[in-house]
Amino acid sequence: MADYENKSAYIEELIRRDNQQYDDPSTFRQTMIHREGLEQATRDRDEAESRIKYHQENIVRLEADLVNKKELEQPDVEASRKMVLETMKERRAKETDIRSWFESRSDKRIDCGFKSPKEATEWVLRNMAG
């Protein structure tokens, strides 16, 4: 700045250099607009990546919570089967009694892990003999 008479001369020289650097002043303005746009897009991308990471972490946490909840809610299959087997032994239930009981008590059948009354009946009959 010491080489120039005043600030105005210095500023005029900067403008002249900028104009020389680009073919015309509009090219400089367009370049500045694109640089500003690039900076804004970079900030937007960083914010979007941060939001994506936030949502991904929440999805992972919620899925893990759901798995844990399902595990806690699952009945103890072995204990349920043992209880049903003991009940049937005490009643000295026959095949038709066992099948009809499982047909009417789908909640117990599901707790025991059986897909059908037939499967449940066959399991009880095999284990009553033992």
Q: What is the mean pLDDT of residues 38-62?
A: 91
Alpha helices in 74-105 (DSSP H): 77-91, 95-104
Confidence of residue 113 (pLDDT cuts 50, 70, 90): confident
Q: Rounded to whole angstroms, how far apart are CA atoms 92 and 33? A: 89
Listed residues 73, 88, 111: the one ending a domain? 73
For residues 57 and 85, state if they share a domain. no
Domain that holds residue 102: 77-129
Q: How many structural domains is the chain composed of?
A: 2
Residues 89, 62, single domain; the answer is no
Is pLDDT at 74 greater than 90 in this prediction?
Answer: no
Same domain membership, residue 15 and residue 52? yes
Average pLDDT over the chain, rounded to an integer: 84
Contact yes or no for 128/85 (Cβ under 8 A): yes
Question: Are 63 and 81 found together in one domain?
Answer: no
Query: Distance between CA atoms of 94 and 87, rounded to whole angstroms?
Result: 12
56 and 106, same domain (yes or no): no
Which tens digit of pLDDT belongs to each residue from 87-97? 999 999 999 99
Q: What pTM did the predictor assign?
A: 0.44
More confident site: 17 or 70:
17
